[in-house]
Chains A and B, each alone.
Chain A
């Protein structure tokens, strides 16, 4: 059974398009996250949700809009895609927002903007 799943695994699209990435966790966790990994493997937090409410937004452009319809899902919608959005996007979840909670990561979505 997959703990944290993401769809799609690969996404290739043109500049200016709008796209969504979906994330689901079946671990019963309360907190979910989106991270971006660039071409040099550097990882950076984008958003964090706890019980469907946004708790972290790390100066991400407004073109990125996360949505959490329930605790098990955190989707990422991106408007007006730019070349610099090309990256691997990872979803993660944890039992809660406290620092000692291990985060479980999904397999990643590789986004390529042409």
Chain B
């Protein structure tokens, strides 16, 4: 079956530091890949997505590249802000219903 593995948190950074959250996946087919963000007490919001190999998703300074050869979709941001503090989820979806398979989530804490 499908699975997503992401680095365990919490990840604690100072403001303006570089962020990387690793994500690797296992899938039977050719999935679409997503990063979702969950702010405290809220639902999930799509941060970015990529639907085919070598696609780069980007939004709000965050980027991730779909790497089929390494089955990875690592999230990066060059300079984090306190407002980026949240839980980040890597996820994949394949056909047959578009059900999302999520990683365990990584909590990011950014200190001023």
CB-CB under 8 A from A13, the residues of chain B are none
CB-CB under 8 A from B51, the residues of chain A are 99-100
B18-26, B76-84, B87-95: which lies at the interface: B87-95
Cβ-Cβ contact count across A and B, 8 Å cutoff: 68
Q: Given contacts A56-B97, A102-B46, A103-B46, could you give 13 more A-B pairs where the C-beta distance is less than 8 Å? A: A35-B100, A41-B87, A41-B105, A43-B44, A44-B102, A45-B101, A50-B97, A90-B43, A100-B49, A104-B46, A105-B36, A107-B42, A108-B43
Interface: B45 (CB within 8 A): yes
Interface: A66 (CB within 8 A): no
- How many of chain A's residues have a CB under 8 angstroms from any CB in B? 31
Residue-wise interface mask of A (38-63) relative to B, using a CB-CB cutoff of 8 A (1 in contact, 0 not): 00111111001010000110100000
With A43-B89, A102-B46, A106-B43 known as contacts, the answer to whether A94 contacts B104 (CB < 8 A) is no
CB-CB under 8 A from B99, the residues of chain A are 33, 45, 48, 56, 58
- How many of chain B's residues have a CB under 8 angstroms from any CB in A? 25
Q: Could you list which residues of chain A lie within 8 angstroms of chain B, going by C-beta atoms?
A: 4, 31, 33, 35, 40-45, 48, 50, 55-56, 58, 90, 92, 94, 96-108
Interface residues of B in 8-60 (CB under 8 A from A): 31-32, 34, 36, 38, 42-46, 49, 51
